[in-house]
Structure 1
């Protein structure tokens, strides 16, 4: 008879657990039922573009690429973006369920109320328990069923944690960051007088939501047509953090010291194990001062800055480099700080009264608050509410510890004293590869008969005997030097599971570039390199397709010219630049002279103007309203104030930058295309040249031809300065413009 398994949760963890129990062990070993309180699968990932009921905004961009946000045996569609949006992740999970989970029973809209351990079946020996699981459907129907195994896949995001000051009624809207969707939804109670949107919490979600709200404010101010909120220009973001945190963009460079660096999605660079000593060691958990200094140094080198050039408030100073480092991911957060749309305070929210917040320990007052967004994380204990008190005690449940809520064996999978209770994805940052490995570990463990079974493989037995996960978790609860993600380094965890499962990492399909500092060929960690030993030919074909796309992205990013470069340039343009431009004319009708002033790139949602037939309102992308202002001084001494506007756009599908003229009667709207930017290989020593990246463009305006040249000099991930020059020739024009932009 198959063993009956109850899986609590039908998000990524529950789905991969169900698939693994059904397909990675002999057919008929397990009978799987999944329960989820939601009426759909996906967990925190939204079902479609309009699914606003979950914890994640459907249009949020994932901070890991599709090469990491995947399981080993289902590839993303070839035309899917490198960084999928949340609703696209939901679609991926729907395809995964359809492909692999048809043999499971799904009880959606059904909450697990209690799960009580029962004695073993009559006549069976040993301490194997069963579980009496009581469930309640959305219409109130209660059922009680007996299962042989209970698998917790209910997620680490049980319910939002709220500081005392954020609870109760307030004069301004107060929401958790997971509830934010748009400005009208946040500011519904406000009459539009403006003020500060206070974001509380300085880790991943705090940085992401502060950057998101700032981009929404920028778009509200600088977009054509009626604003989504009144007086949008009177609002700003005030972010409370406890300590400076490293903020990475979504794309970084494997050659950050070059002024013409190539770019790759952040995780492809992070998971290049060729740059790590072998075998891999755990870089998380307890962080010594020496290890902290090393990691801070790596982060600073990748970003090319200690962040002081954005603001002293976000700088990671030398005095702080012995402290455990923290990181977050956002494309625009740092430049919004530099532009002043986001301001920073250090401390904790102590109290909130009227429109005034008090911070501790500084005693600083933040006034004129319009709304508060609490990016204060989640507690996981409520995800285990169905377990009885003795089991919680065995697991060393500590609800106040948000990172180490329970103490589990072998990297968050089980507890030896409750052998038929398992966990998948129950920890912060459950990267998909680790979730899949946890599911495989439990499937192998349970199929063999449990931790004490004589049928365990030697590698699995050794893994269990040498495991120190429970002790390490308990020690980290009181460790002041615990890391941001204490369960373990992702690459190291994948190595540990693969060793325990005797699961080799398949080689890359082709030769990859060699990169500094080791100058070894890239060796990218991705779930597709760990197909199941029981994988069918069709499943291995999916793994191969995923690997081909990963390797294709690497070759494209490191090619000449390089993919992702246009995106990196576009991201780094945000904000204000000092502009100096020389104009040299060969005709007396156009005076020569010099322009000095500023150029501002003002971020907003993409608009349809000028490209109506090609515009997707469901996925508008982003663009800049470009505004330059300053004084032109002619060589004859004549001086006048000058201004001009364009719209700059980035097309993710084409990976292309373009510049558009604005309408003369509405200078917020794009009119028609000026030119598309074509990146070229720099002259000299390829991307190692000190000249930076170069680009060209051309535009014929009736009889006048504009020959455009660009030069972009990077310092690691950020533009340090750039140049725009062009010559204009026609029947009545013959001049050259050469402008330099500096921060």
Structure 2
């Protein structure tokens, strides 16, 4: 029996990266190989992710909806609980990490409320010194300790601290904060004078689009909710967004068949992770982007969205001149339609300076006046996350603090540096898909078990991977490359393939038959972390892998072959103003026929309690009340007898994500911002398909019925999409009763 002492590993950070690293060292290596200690300055695990809905202390808002589904935001051997939302909120991700900690990291020593201040190398473990790192920590009570470890693993997060642009600030009279600090309107505008104005959002990539859409949603809700909010006169505020160039903004659900007249919908990441649309073996689609490659991807994005975005505003349109440049994307369900409605206005350029309540944009020198607050969505600096490493180590890593995307140059896809064999990294790169975090952790575990990058006892696949690796040179080359991609380290599927090859892991086949779709006319092949499970699973781990794969399959089949997610897609795309033309045809002289011409506005707000009190209250503190619309219809009705009068109607439209249901509620007559009782629930119909699986010439049909005392309302809908966006829709219903016999047929167009 071996009496060798275990190698002591210090992991800095107990977020997703630190937890999966601890799990891999404890479970993927021979038992007793590593002794793991996790340090984190916070008092709870999770890193960016809070585990309570009211925890506003993390960098991520607890109620933020993830832009990737639960099938991607997971590790291979822990499935989400049944009934979890497809797109979790941030606090639910934190709860998942708590479960992961309990499931797999009980063998690690967890030291919370303790910051790693210094880590000094004492020599690699193969140079005769068992203690390779001297680590100094400081607790939240100020207690300083020193310990020695054989290995140091950095999992402190790429999003170290907010990056603030070097702009001039003179006589500022307004609050300025980073997007990671935004929680609500009251927190943002609490120091404003209440006179209204523009909320200036600076930064046009992922966080900029997301926060602009979020603030606009909060403003819309404050204006249109029945109860007064904490901010006075919310209707006097708007959002002004400064972007350098237009980006493609995807909703959180897209269609795997965007050219279909009746497109099905899936969470955004499931469509993008369909390996059937990729040439095998995979090649990297990120890094340096040639003009030809850029044009191809721009074209794909335009097909997926069904527009160059000019339908929303010229300011966000991706022009033909732009398609030769590397494409950038963002995700938001509300941003584009708020731009179309005018609640968000857009300027191009960079914020040059702030003075009083005015901003200057370069190079145009545009002046933006009447600013009430500024939100800087300008990214994060990663250099601070490794400030505990000495200057000599930072120099070896080619630290470049000013480069927010390629801050350090690490070998084999961000895992280590060959000159410091007892130092490893997990999750230290932009856009860390969780599957890649798990692969990085497995790679480091295998590398250290084999004795390090210069060991002769490495498995052939690992040795070949390191021999052929050019990641360090590639990273440094991308720092000044004007054609560098948005996510320079590499695309998700390719990275998973590269790690799997190095580790000798096989990608498991899909769990059963999958839908066959164009353009490849192949069965869908959705990549999730569970497709790359460990070679040595326990029975309980195997059960979690199977559960995860079944969840993904069920979601895909439901999205492609049923009405799943259609209600969500319709609800999202209703936001804003529509032109409405409606015909009323009555068979009884007591009810005149006529024509209505006017507008219908769908005004977004947080879900309200009225009309569904018991259901709403049962949600509890952590329940998702969802969003709803206050529907306001205004126009002129011209009766067939020539009489014309002004007409208005109000309803409340609601979407229940748990049931995937869209419903329409009457508004109260005494308070038309409040729902009264249910008018009808919308039931979408599965379309008939031809032999090719298409539904030619038809949009999404839906029906509903409502009995109002003695009168029955037979309701029919037709929703016509172009890719992800509604272009027009029809609402018709027939009313029959003892004293009623008429039809109403209304057409809504943008």
TM class by shorter-chain length? over 0.9
Tell me the residue number matched to 2:261: 259
Deviation of 1:535 (Å): 1.7
Aligned to 1:605: 606
Q: Is the 8 A contact 1:173 1:187 kept in 2?
A: yes
Task: Using the TM superposition, give the Cα deviation of residue 128 of structure 1 relative to its aligned residue in structure 2, in angstroms.
Answer: 8.4
> SS of 1:281's equivalent?
coil
Give the alignment partner of residue 638 of structure 1, picking from 628, 643, 647.
643
Rounded Cα–Cα distance in structure 1 between residues aligned with 2:129 and 2:308: 56
CA deviation profile, 1:243-264 (whole Å, cap 9, x unmatched): 0000000000011011210000
- Residue 164 of structure 1 deviates from its aligned partner by 2.3
Q: 1:388-413: CA deviations, max 9, x gaps?
A: 11111100000000000000000000
Distance (whole Å) between structure 1 residues aligned to residue 167 and residue 480 of structure 2:
25
**TM-score scaled by length of structure 1:** 0.98
Separation (CA, whole Å) in 2 of partners of 1:619 and 1:367: 37
SS for the counterpart of 1:410 is helix
Please give the TM-score of this superposition, normalised by the length of structure 2: 0.98
Contact 2:684 2:701 in 1 (8 A): yes
Answer yes or no: is 1:21 the counterpart of 2:31: no
**Residues 170 and 356 of structure 2 are in contact (CA less than 8 Å); yes or no, is this contact kept in structure 1?**
no
Aligned to 1:211, what secondary structure does the other structure show?
helix
Aligned to 2:40: 36
Q: Is the partner of 1:155 in helix, strand or coil?
A: coil
**What per-residue deviation string (whole Å, max 9, x for no partner) do you get for residues 442-471 of structure 1?**
000001111111221000000000000000
Residues in 2 aligned to 1:166 and 1:546: alpha-carbon distance in whole angstroms: 51
2:15–2:48 CA contact under 8 A, matched in 1? yes
Give CA deviations for 1:242-291 in whole Å, capped at 9, x if unaligned.
Answer: 00000000000011011210000000000000110000010000000000
Alignment of 1:247-326 (within 5 A): 247-326=249-328
Q: 2:708 aligns with which of 698, 701, 707?
A: 701
Q: Secondary structure at the match of 2:571?
A: helix
| 2-structure distance, mates of 1:674, 1:351 | 52
**Residues 1:120 and 1:500: Cα distance change in structure 2 (over 3 Å):** closer
Q: 1:740 to 1:11 in 2, by over 3 A?
A: same
Give the SS at the match of 2:324: coil
Give 3-state SS (helix, strand or coil) of 2:72's partner.
Answer: coil
CA contact (8 A) 2:131 2:148 kept: no
Q: Please, which of 6, 10, 20 is the counterpart of residue 6 of structure 1?
A: 10
Q: Alignment partner for residue 198 of structure 1, among 197, 200, 223?
A: 200
Say if 1:129 and 1:407 are closer, same or farther in 2 by CA, change over 3 A.
farther
Q: Structure 2: which 5+ residue stretches go unaligned?
A: none
Q: 1:663 aligns with which of 663, 668, 676?
A: 668
Could you tell me how far apart the structure 2 residues matched to 1:212 and 1:285 are?
30
Match among 122, 127, 144 for residue 118 of structure 1: 122
C-alpha contact 2:171 2:355 (8 A) present in aligned 1: no
Instruction: Give SS of 1:150's match.
Output: strand
Inter-partner Cα distance in structure 2 for 1:623 and 1:545: 33
* Aligned-pair CA distance for 1:120: 5.1
Contact 1:610 1:670 in 2 (8 A): yes
State how far apart, in whole Å, the 2-side matches of 1:292 and 1:119 are. 46
Partner of 1:442, secondary structure, is helix
Equivalent position to 1:86, from 68, 85, 90: 90
Structure-to-structure mapping, 1:473-622, within 5 angstroms: 473-560=475-562, 562-615=563-616, 616=619, 618-622=623-627
The separation in 2 between residues aligned to 1:537 and 1:681, in whole angstroms, is 39
Distance in 2 of aligned mates of 1:137 and 1:417? 31
Counterparts of 1:452 and 1:225, CA distance in 2: 66
How big is the shift at 1:681? 2.5
Query: Distance in 1 between the 2:178 and 2:56 partners?
Result: 14
Would you say the 8 A contact 1:132–1:146 is kept in 2? Answer: yes
Instruction: Evaluate the alpha carbon distance shift between residue 169 and residue 413 of structure 1 in structure 2; reply closer, same or farther with a 3 A threshold.
Output: farther
Q: Deviations over 1:690-741 (max 9, x none)?
A: 1201000000000000000000000000001000000000011000000000
Task: For residue 594 of structure 1, give the secondary structure of its aligned residue in structure 2.
Answer: strand
2:405 alignment counterpart: 403
Distance (whole Å) between structure 2 residues aligned to residue 33 and residue 451 of structure 1: 23
The corresponding residue for 2:50 is 46
Task: Provide the rounded CA distance (Å) in 1 between the counterparts of 2:388 and 2:441.
Answer: 21
Asked if structure 2 preserves the Cα contact closer than 8 Å seen for 1:575 and 1:601, the reply is yes
- Change beyond 3 A, Cα 1:576–1:683: same
- Cα distance in 2 for residues equivalent to 1:534 and 1:394: 36
In 2, the alpha carbon distance for the partners of 1:5 and 1:421 equals 10
Say which SS state the counterpart of residue 321 (structure 1) adopts.
helix
Is the CA contact 1:728–1:736 (under 8 Å) kept in the aligned structure 2? yes
Per-residue CA deviation, residues 218-239 of structure 1 (Å, 9 max, x unaligned), is 0000000112311110100000
Deviations 1:657-707 (A, max 9, x none): 000001010000000000000001235647522120100000000000000
**SS of residue matched to 2:229:** coil
Show CA shifts across 1:479-526 (max 9, x none).
110000000010000000000000001111110001110010011100
- 2:654 aligned partner: 649
Residue of structure 2 in register with 1:351 after alignment? 353
CA contact (8 A) 1:261 1:687 kept: no
In structure 1, distance between residues paired with 2:153 and 2:168: 34
Which deviations, in whole Å up to 9, do the C-alpha atoms of 1:145-175 show, x marking residues without a partner?
Answer: 1100000000001110111237687210100
Q: Which runs of 5+ in 1 are unaligned?
A: none
**Cα separation, partners in 2 of 1:191 and 1:516, compared to 1, 3 Å:** same
**Counterpart check, 1:732 vs 2:734:** no
Counterpart contact for 1:679–1:695, Cα < 8 Å: yes
Q: Distance in 2 between matches of 1:682 and 1:544?
A: 31
Any conservation in 2 of the 1:661–1:673 contact (CA below 8 Å)? yes
Task: Provide the rounded CA distance (Å) in 1 between the counterparts of 2:212 and 2:350.
Answer: 16
On the 8 A contact 1:118/1:129 being kept in 2, the answer is yes
Question: Which residue matches 2:453?
Answer: 451
CA contact (8 A) 1:25 1:534 kept: no
Q: Classify 1:507/1:683 alpha carbon distance in 2 versus 1 (closer, same or farther; 3 Å).
A: closer
CA–CA distance in structure 2, aligned partners of residues 446 and 678 of structure 1? 56
